[in-house]
């Protein structure tokens, strides 16, 4: 019997950088068990060019990525989410829609790489650092035996993953 495929939604305010990076990375790393989406509470309408550059530098597919609002995912015909992760503090503090199916949620806050000023190299490094943090957290999620966890243990595990840093990876 095939394993259940889980839907994951990464949320941020602008849906141009962190949530987009989470979507693309999860779709590459978790393609056997997960399908990822991203959205924003106030989408910018375009993906940040340095986010696309960082993904391409690591051979992560970028086709189909677009900045979109979270209202797409509360429509009757929207995919039902199993997990919803906020990756910016502003989105975590905003009132979120009621997600059909009551997905597991957690805050995986990451500093905004698009807010970094300085040289182009410093800005590029910020996007790669964000990808590194997301890579760590997604790999920890992929290592979980989700089916064996009750809702409370799953919530605890997801919250712990959201506080992890790449240096804490076993």
Decide: 39 and 19 in contact? Cβ < 8 Å. Answer: yes
Q: How do residues 73-87 score in pLDDT, each as one tens digit?
A: 988 899 999 999 999
pLDDT of 127 above 60: yes
Q: Could you tell me the two tokens for 139?
A: 């790999």
* 147-160 pLDDT, tens digit each: 889 999 999 999 99
How confident is the model at residue 30, as a pLDDT?
Answer: 94
CA distance 148 to 107: 22
Which pLDDT score, from 0 to 100, does residue 169 have?
Answer: 47
Residue 132 falls inside a structural domain: yes
pLDDT tens per residue across span 63-76: 999 999 999 998 88
Structural domain includes residue 14: yes
Quickly state the pLDDT bin for 170 (edges 50, 70, 90): very low
Domain containing 62 — which CATH number? 3.40.50.2300
- Determine, yes or no, domain membership for 1: no
C-alpha separations of 64 from 46, 74, 93, 95, 106 in Å: 12, 20, 28, 27, 25
List the one residue out of 86, 83, 16, 99 whose CA is nearest residue 55. 16
Query: What does the alpha-carbon distance between residue 11 and residue 13 come to, in Å, rounded to a whole number?
Result: 7
Total domain count, the chain: 1
The torsion angles phi and psi of 45, rounded to 5 degrees, stand at 95, -10
> What residue numbers bound the domain in which 26 lies?
6-168
Q: How confident is the model at residue 88 (pLDDT cuts 50, 70, 90)?
A: confident
Tell me whether residue 122 is in a domain.
yes
pLDDT of 17 > 70? The answer is: yes
Q: 100 pLDDT band (50/70/90 cuts)?
A: confident
CA-CA-CA-CA torsion sign (120, 137, 62, 81): negative
139 within some domain: yes
| Tens of pLDDT, residues 20-30 | 999 999 999 99
Average pLDDT value over all residues in the chain: 90
Nearest to 12 by CA among 94, 124, 132, 76: 94
Contact 112, 133 (CB under 8 A): no
- In-domain check, residue 114: yes
* Top-confidence residue, 34 or 167: 34
Residue 119 has pLDDT above 60, yes or no: yes
């Amino acid at each position: 019997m095939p394993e259940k495929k889980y839907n994951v939604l990464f949320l941020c305010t602008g849906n141009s950088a962190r949530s987009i990076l989470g979507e693309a990375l999860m779709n590459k790393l978790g393609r056997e068990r997960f399908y990822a989406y991203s959205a924003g509470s106030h989408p910018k309408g375009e993906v940040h060019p340095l986010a696309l550059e960082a993904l391409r530098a690591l051979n992560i597919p970028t086709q189909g990525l677009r900045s979109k609002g979270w209202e797409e995912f509360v429509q009757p015909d929207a995919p039902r989410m199993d997990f919803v992760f906020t990756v910016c503090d502003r989105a975590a503090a905003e009132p979120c829609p009621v997600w059909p199916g009551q997905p597991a949620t957690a805050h995986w806050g990451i500093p905004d790489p698009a807010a970094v000023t300085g040289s182009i190299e410093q800005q590029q490094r910020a996007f790669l650092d964000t990808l590194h943090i997301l890579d760590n957290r997604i790999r920890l999620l992929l290592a979980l035996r989700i089916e064996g966890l009750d809702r409370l243990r799953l919530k605890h595990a997801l919250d712990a993953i959201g506080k992890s840093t790449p240096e804490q990876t076993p």
